[in-house]
């Protein structure tokens, strides 16, 4: 499969960060456990109870300081550094573990915990503090207008046109550690198939769209991804 591949699009989900100790969303220990999505991850929830929503994301942002990239993040960063063709790593994750591992050709389609969006000046700024304390916007200095720069349910993920173009122009689409439960990311495999692209899934168990993939490898991302990266790099 590798020989004809020039351009690659990779999609990652919470499973890629699970071995770093970041909770996934679904399943018994999932992040939504104890929280209803509609209480913490919608614009309506933020309008109704901003303090609850800010504290939920403040806790997740604080948790980032206690975790490190794992072998899967590191292997993907190595692939990015060495792959001569186009490569786009699209992550649904709002953690910064791909960034810290060194991935450069990276797009956070669901936003980032370490980014603040000011609803007064509409600017986004790097942010690693506590939003529930109502800090001033680093850009316009007004207080009381920052929200987590996270794509909530009912909002449009970032850079969809760029992702669609990359899918149309790639030769291989790889999905890692995502349950395939949330669109539009869950539909990328179908777009890739529509464009005649080879597709590979790596996940702990079959995702909801598993049957769309040409090949599925089941196991832990920290084992599967370094093996796959070694495989694909040996052919360049
Ligand atoms: P999920 O929690 O839905 O799925 C995580 C997937 O990773 C599951 O299929 C697990 O089996 C798998 N998994 C767990 N541990 C793994 C490991 N060590 N190695 C490989 N796979 C493993 O998370 P996502 O699919 O990322 O959106 O969820 C998608 C979106 O739903 C999130 O981005 C978030 C959420 O609502 C927003 O917040 C907008």
Query: For residue 85, what pLDDT band results from cuts at 50, 70 and 90?
Result: very high
Under the banding of pLDDT at 50, 70 and 90, the label for residue 235 is confident
* pLDDT band at residue 21 using 50, 70 and 90 as cut-offs: very high
Ligand 1: centre distance to CA 28 (Å): 12
Q: How far is the CA of 144 from the centre of ligand 1 (A)?
A: 32
Show the ligand 1 pocket: residues with CB < 6 angstroms: 13-15, 18-19, 24-26, 30, 41, 92, 110, 151, 177-179, 181-182, 203-205, 207, 220-221
Integer Cα distance of 227 and 135 in angstroms: 44
Q: Which pLDDT value is given to residue 106?
A: 98
pLDDT at 168 over 60: yes
Integer Cα distance of 165 and 90 in angstroms: 13
197 or 36: which leads in pLDDT: 197
| Three-state SS at 221 | helix
- Cis check: omega of the bond before 184, within 30 degrees of 0: yes
**What length does the chain have?**
236
Per-residue pLDDT at 97 exceeds 70: yes
Distance, CA 212 to ligand 1 centroid (Å)? 18
Question: Which pLDDT band, with edges at 50, 70 and 90, does 33 fall under?
Answer: low
Lowest-confidence pick of 19-28, 108-117, 151-160: 19-28
* Residues pairing with 150 in the sheet: 111
Find the 55 Cα to ligand 1 centroid distance in Å: 22
**What are the pLDDT digits (tens) for 153-166?**
999 999 999 999 99
Q: How far apart are CA 18 and CA 35, in angstroms?
A: 19
The model's pLDDT over 34-72, given as tens digits with 9 standing for 90+, comes to 778 888 999 999 999 999 999 999 999 999 999 999 999
Q: Which residues are catalytic?
A: 110
Tokens encoding 210 = 């598993």
* pLDDT value of residue 39: 85
Kindly give the number of the ligand 1 atom that is closest to the alpha carbon of 19.
Answer: 18
Which whole number is the average pLDDT over 224-231?
A: 98
Say how far apart CA 207 and CA 220 lie, in whole Å. Answer: 13
Best substitution site from 11, 13, 22, 108 to test ligand 1's pocket, by max atoms within 8 Å of Cβ? Answer: 13
Sorting pLDDT into bands at 50, 70 and 90, what band is 3?
low
Indicate if the pLDDT at residue 1 is higher than 80: no
Which two tokens mark 186?
A: 């869950």
Average pLDDT over residues 79-95: 98
Q: What's the pLDDT score for residue 29?
A: 67
The two tokens of residue 119 are 């609803």
């Amino acid at each position: 499969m590798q020989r004809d591949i020039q351009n690659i699009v990779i999609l990652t989900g919470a499973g890629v960060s699970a071995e770093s100790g970041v909770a996934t969303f679904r399943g018994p220990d999932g992040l939504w456990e104890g929280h209803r999505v509609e209480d913490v991850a919608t614009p309506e929830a933020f309008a109704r109870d901003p303090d609850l929503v800010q504290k939920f994301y403040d806790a997740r942002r604080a948790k980032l300081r206690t975790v490190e990239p794992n072998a899967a993040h590191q292997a993907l960063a190595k692939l990015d550094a060495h792959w001569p063709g186009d490569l786009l790593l699209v992550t649904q994750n709002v953690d910064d573990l791909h960034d810290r591992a060194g991935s450069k050709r990276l797009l956070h389609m669901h936003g980032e915990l370490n980014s603040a969006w000011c609803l007064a000046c509409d600017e986004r700024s790097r942010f690693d503090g506590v939003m529930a304390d109502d800090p001033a916007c680093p850009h316009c200095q007004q207080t009381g207008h920052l929200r987590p720069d996270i794509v909530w349910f009912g909002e449009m993920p970032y850079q969809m046109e760029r992702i669609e173009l990359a899918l149309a122009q790639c030769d291989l689409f790889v999905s890692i550690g995502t349950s395939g439960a949330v669109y539009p990311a869950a539909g990328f495999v179908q777009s890739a198939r529509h464009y005649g692209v080879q597709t590979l899934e790596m996940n702990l168990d079959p995702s909801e769209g598993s049957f769309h993939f040409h090949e599925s490898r089941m196991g832990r991302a920290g084992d599967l991804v370094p093996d796959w990266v070694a495989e694909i790099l040996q052919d360049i």
